Amino acid sequence: MTGKHPEDNDHRLILDRYQEELLAYLSGVDWMKKGGNTAGIDPDHPFRDLMEAISMIKTNLDRLLEQREADQNRLRFQEEQYLSTLEERVAQRTRDLEIEVSKKNHAEKINRVLFNISNAVNTTQGLDELFPSIHHILNDLVELPNFLIGIYDKDEDRIHFPYFRDQYDSGIKEIPNLSGTGSLTGEVIFGNQPLFLTHEMLIRRYHANGMVGTLPKVWMGVPLVIQDETIGVMATQSYTDPEYFSLKDLDILISVSHQVALAINRKVAEQDLINETRRANLLAQKAETANLAKSEFIANMSHEIRTPLNGVIGMAELLMETKPSGQQVHLIDTISSEADSLLNIINDILDFSKIEAGKLRLENICFDLRETFEDITSVMAIRAEKKGLALLSDLDPRIPCQIQGDPGRLRQVFMNLIGNALKFTHTGRIVVNGRLVEGTGSQSNRFQVRFSVADTGIGIALEKQTAIFDSFSQADGSTTREYGGTGLGTTISKQIVELMDGQIGVESTPGQGSTFWFTAWFDRQPEASTPFSEQKPEGKAHHAMNREKDRIHSRSLSNTRQKHIRILLAEDYPTNQQIALRYLNRSGFLVSLAEDGQDAVDLYKQNHFDLVLMDIQMPAMDGYEAAMAIRQFERTLSDRGRGGKNTPIIAMTAHAMEGYRERCLNAGMDDYLTKPLKKQDLLVMMDKWIKVGSESGARSSFPDPTVQPYPMDMEKALEEFENDQAFLNDVVDAFLRDTKQRIIQMEAVTAKRDPDHVSRLAHTIKGGAANLIAEPLSFAASELEAAALDGHTHRIPGLIKEMRSEFDRLASWWDQV
């Protein structure tokens, strides 16, 4: 301490004071405020420079801070502007997106509506379903409380409304003379432009032109256009709110109007096609029905047509046995000849009708070709001799004679060809021969024969030969006028030959004659192929002996019918029941009666029967169903080991068409018996199917009854009833009572237009009248049945009157008898 000078202490004190001043200055600087404070500092202060430097630093710092603050403010302002702009842009983009989404949704709705309309065309059955579907589909876009679709007919200047849903004017169906009315739909159609009308516009139009229907608050409509042609209009309206629709709604209708027009146009075209198809099908069905009816009518009428002719021919033969005078012989010969010619023509027409209907069928039975050939040529030789012609025949000895085929149709071809040769040959001869076609008969069981008929007649020109086998054709018109004939013989022969898998042709020179030839295929009989040269000649005496054996066998079989043979008779018609029961009971059969198909099946299941007679048309269950049920029952028994052979079932029906026969056989029946029931036909059928000491019974033929001018052939009816007058009286009385009730039923159902019921009633009356030989009534009922089956309802009332007239005539006549 002693080493220090006092001056040093003073300096130290001064320095400390300066330091404190400096620290006070520093601590007094407010860095948060602008500006420095150097005013109170001594100029000689040793730290003045430092304090001024600090003051300068603060001043610079203040400037920097001010600049920074200004920059921050400017940046904040810019940020605020940018954010404001960004928000506006986001809001605008959001609005744009919302509009785009709305437009997209609207477009999707439009597309969905268009798709649904197109789909409705494919899923709806007709316009009646399409229009409500369109209304329902459009409601997805615009709610349409009132809506209409109108179709415009330009030719008639008429608009009709197939769809009109309106709370006030739903009764409007159409507007005729559209161009002359104040209709809003007409304004759309003729202007071919959409129309949107406010309430004020509607009022002005109403006062100026009037208006069809109730005045709405707002109305809009659009045309339906196809290929620049307006086919109709689609419109809607509101009766309650003037602001209900807007132009946007109109745009929606415009956007779908073309698709609606296409849908309606397509559906109309489809409906027209369906209608045309239905019409074509109906016409085809009517044509088929008419064809079937024609075939059935001809088949049903074949008996009636042949009956008087057979009667004429038979009476002529009886007259010849009474030793008439020379003039009478000539007259009788003429009657017989003309009747034979007429019968041949009718047979040709009936066969031709079968050909047209596709019903001509061939049998395949065993027969002797030599015997058939001899029979044909011997019969035709007599006719040739009467005309001064020679008829020669020759059959190849290599041809097997015991063969299988259709002798009846083969005979028909020969008769046609030889008959033509006789007709067109005046001098000379006719040669008939048959030759085995080489290579077909040596080893095979199937062989071909070529037959020919050569004549020395007028011949046929080459250019006319191809037309010979056409329907109703002869060589030329002069041939028809001179020689007569229908021209059907060769046509029918051609069809028969083709069914025999053969061919037919002609070779001819005018003035020198013609040769008609045809080929046919046959089968050998099993173990019966002996050629012609090895057969024993038997001749006509042999045929007569065989026919006598047949008659003896038939009588012996009738005498053995007392062996308690049981028959099930299924028949619902009382008259037919009595007749069949009388025939069968008097012949020694035990008969059980079933009045319908179900009853027949029940009886069959409970009892043993040797044969079933099955009527086709019966109530509850018809004959087809009953036969199938019986066959099913037999199969069930067979599966259980309790059954044997099937019991024969014979169909009974008034129908004579081949189609019915096939249907019966397909149902499991064994044979077919047509009505009216004839005693001999019935008994022959019994003989055929009931085996009693023989393989089968023999058939015999009887002449058909003749038609009398009276409503009933009493003599023939008595014969059919075995001269049992009391039984006949009962049957006729029952028939008259039953028929009267059926006619009353028929007249009642006619008002209901029920042709099926009428046809069934007429069918029953037809069969019952035919059984009593009441031909006029049976024919009238047949006519009525055919008209009902054809659907000719307009003819039914008149035909019922005709049938009632014949019934009244029969009833009145019966009372007098």
How many residues in total does the chain contain?
A: 817
617 pLDDT above the threshold of 90: no
DSSP state of 427: S
- Using only the alpha carbons of the chain, give its radius of gyration: 55
- AA letter at 444: S
Arithmetic mean of pLDDT, 294-312: 56
Residues ≥6 apart with Cβ < 8 Å to 364 = 404, 405, 406, 523
- Distances 705 to 677, 760, 771, 774, 816 between C-alpha atoms, Å: 13, 26, 11, 11, 23
Q: What is the pLDDT of residues 731-759, one digit of tens each?
A: 898 889 889 988 988 888 776 677 888 88
- Please report the pLDDT score of residue 151 as a whole number: 92
CB under 8 A, 24+ apart: contacts of 162-171: 162/127, 162/128, 162/131, 163/131, 163/132, 163/134, 163/135, 165/135, 166/213, 166/237, 167/239, 168/213, 168/214, 168/239, 169/213, 169/214
Q: Bridge partners of 507?
A: 515
> Which letter does DSSP use for residue 400 in this model?
B
Greater pLDDT, 492 or 103: 492
Residue 4 or residue 781, greater confidence: 781
**pLDDT tens across 41-72, in order?**
677 777 777 777 777 787 788 788 788 888 88
Task: Number of helices (H) and strands (E) in the chain: give both, helices first.
Answer: 22, 18
Left if phi > 0, otherwise alpha if psi is -120 to 50, otherwise beta: which for 388?
left
Q: In the Cβ-directed half-sphere of 337, how many Cα atoms lie within 13 Å?
A: 8
Handedness of CA 715, 720, 725, 729 (dihedral sign): negative
- The answer to whether the beta carbons of residues 514 and 506 sit under 8 Å apart is yes
User: Has residue 82 got a pLDDT over 50?
Assistant: yes
Three-state SS annotation for 695-707: CCCCCCCCCCCCC
Distance CA 498, CA 409 (A): 12
Q: Is the pLDDT of residue 212 over 90?
A: no
Average pLDDT on 165-178 reads 85
Please, which pLDDT band fits residue 193 given cuts at 50, 70 and 90? very high
Say which residue, 567 or 263, is predicted with more confidence. 567
Residue 715's pLDDT is: 80
Is the pLDDT at 719 greater than 80? The verdict is no
Q: At 442, is the secondary structure helix, strand, or coil?
A: coil
**Tokens linked to 546:** 């065989």
State pTM to two decimals: 0.35
Q: What is the mean pLDDT of the chain?
A: 78
Q: pLDDT confidence of 91, banded at 50, 70, 90?
A: confident
Dihedral through CA 654, CA 658, CA 660, CA 662, nearest 10?
140
Please tell me the predicted confidence (pLDDT) of residue 433. Answer: 92
Residue type, 40: G
Top mean-pLDDT range of 107-121, 214-228, 298-312, 429-443: 214-228
Q: C-alpha distances in angstroms, 658 versus 58, 362, 408, 494, 671?
A: 135, 12, 17, 21, 12
- 4-8, 131-135, 631-635, 697-701: least confident range: 697-701
Model confidence pLDDT, tens digit, residues 380-410: 887 788 888 989 988 888 888 889 988 888 9
